[in-house]
Chain A
Amino acid sequence: MIREVFGLSSWQLLVKGAAMTLLLSIAGVVVGTVLGIFGGIIRTYPSRVCYALRPLVWLWVEVFRRTPLMILMLLSYFGLAHTGFVVPPLLVGLLAVCVYSVAYMTENIRSGIEAIPKSQWDAGLSLGMNSWHLLVCVIMPQALRISIPPSIGFMQSLVKDTSVATIIGLVELTHVSQLLRYRFPAAGFTIFGTVLLLYFIICYPLSWFGDHAERKVRRA
């Protein structure tokens, strides 16, 4: 029984599922970090453009941090199909994950920028730096450093959260576990135990690294 469950085709499925899980998480992290930096700047930087965009970013953060990723997936998949856009599930999954992670990363980056004392802005301005130069060369390097530990923590929880993408039919690790269960109904414990272990192998280094980074930042 066990030997059948762990045949070659099962492993191929598991590897494919893990690859999809990683693809979703990495896409979410990359898009989330890039847009999150812009979002964080918009929420803190004093300029007319940023003031204008601030309510929009605020709404984005407040709404998407209080919505389960699953509802975002369902909304963007079935909701979009309902309005006439038929989008392939992979694109929908990526869209939902990115929308979700941008909201969290914006919040992380913003708290990093706000942790920098106001006196640094005053000091830079009085040295004659213009404010963009000040932001890019003085504030952001320190702010990003502070926001690294919470961001790694978020990456780890994003890997876990992508498990809900199974609901729109994306073949990631969780979906694979269901497929294998249909194939071998009696081996539920083995199958889910294996998938649990695979998630652990992906997530544990991230959470260890996050704790390590937090200790390092706190000491500095």
Chain B
Amino acid sequence: MDVFARGAAVTLGVSAIAMLGGTLLGIGGALMRRSRSWPLRAIGLTYVNLFRNTPLLIQAYLIYFGLTGLVNLDSLSAAVIALTINNGGYMTEIVRGGMEGIHKNEIEAALALGMSYVQALGYILIPHALRIVYPPTVNQFVLLVLGSSVLSLIGLTELTCVARNLEAYTFRAFEVYITTMVLYILLAILSTLLLRAVGWNFYKGQKKVIRN
């Protein structure tokens, strides 16, 4: 049972790091995709399409086994990098959707009040967009928790890897995998509820904005 708890902690930790990093990448990517210069737009589009149309497992293999000539990553850092970059592709599209929902007038108003463009982005556009994309981000986090199971194949000791080791020790495949399945379902439900509660508290006064 102890092992399972540790595996679940690794799964959650890796997903949380990838979510934070992915959100940052997503903000950058979304700004690039909406940028006025076409090279930046092209880079953003290539990033999104490349990482959303290929399996996370192959991306992780490429980073873990394919880069051995350049850098020698251990499995934890390779897993975190792969999951973060992969999630960044999805978050770019989510954040871009949020930015599309913001009226152009808001930016114009900020500029008219004497803010520089960077200030308008940092104080108005990005916080507002993040508020709008909070609900889809919660869903994306659950997908990350489930998706991180493939990282066991590059040796990350998360929930699936722990289960496979335990099965190798005990030969009780059925019990071990049913338990793992229940744990994943619990993790998914609990993290949804928890994140929703956090979001509800965080954005308490701004319900109308969320609904828009």
**What is the interface of chain A, defined by CB distance below 8 A to chain B?**
62-63, 66-68, 70-72, 74-75, 78-79, 81-83, 156, 160-161, 163-164, 166-167, 174, 177-178, 181, 186, 188-189, 191-193, 195-196, 199-200, 203-204, 207
Contact = CB atoms under 8 A, between A and B. Distances in A.
B15 interface: no
A160 B51 CA distance: 11
A178 B154 CA distance: 11
Contacts of A156: 53
Contacts, number: 121
Interface string B41-68: 0000000011011111111011001111
Given A196-B58, A196-B59, A204-B53, A189 B67 contact: yes
B104 interface: no
Contact of B171 (A75, A82, A181, A191): A82
Contacts of A66: 142, 146, 184-185, 188-189
Nearest to B56: A160
Interface in B16-73: 49-50, 52-59, 61-62, 65-69
Contacts of A178: 61
8 shortest interchain CB distances as A-B pairs: A78-B173, A68-B149, A189-B66, A203-B53, A75-B177, A192-B62, A163-B55, A160-B55
Contacts of B184: 66-68, 71
Contacts of B160: 68, 70-71, 74
B155 to A, nearest CB: 13
Interface in B144-195: 146-147, 149-150, 152-153, 160, 163-164, 167, 171-174, 177-178, 180-181, 184-185, 188-189
Contacts of A79: 173-174, 177-178
Main secondary structure on B side of the interface with A = helix
A174 B58 contact: yes
Nearest to B50: A200
Interface of B: 49-50, 52-59, 61-62, 65-69, 142, 146-147, 149-150, 152-153, 160, 163-164, 167, 171-174, 177-178, 180-181, 184-185, 188-189
Contact of B55 (A174, A186, A189, A191): A174
Contact of A199 (B53, B167, B177, B188): B53
A82 B163 contact: no
A207 B54 CA distance: 11
Contacts of A203: 53-54
Main secondary structure on A side of the interface with B = helix
**Listed residue (A164, A191, A192, A199) with the most chain B CB atoms within 10 angstroms of its CB:** A192
A70 B66 contact: no
A70 B150 contact: yes
A19 to B, nearest CB: 17
Contacts of B52: 207
A98 B180 CA distance: 20
Contacts of A195: 58
A181 B62 CA distance: 11
A157 to B, nearest CB: 9
B147 to A, nearest CB: 7
Contacts of A200: 49-50, 53-54
Given A71-B180, A189-B62, A199-B53, A164 B150 contact: yes
Given A78-B167, A193-B62, A68 B146 contact: yes
24 contacts: A66-B142, A66-B146, A66-B184, A67-B146, A67-B185, A68-B146, A68-B184, A71-B184, A74-B160, A78-B167, A78-B173, A79-B178, A81-B173, A82-B173, A164-B149, A174-B61, A181-B61, A188-B65, A188-B68, A189-B69, A193-B62, A196-B54, A196-B58, A199-B54
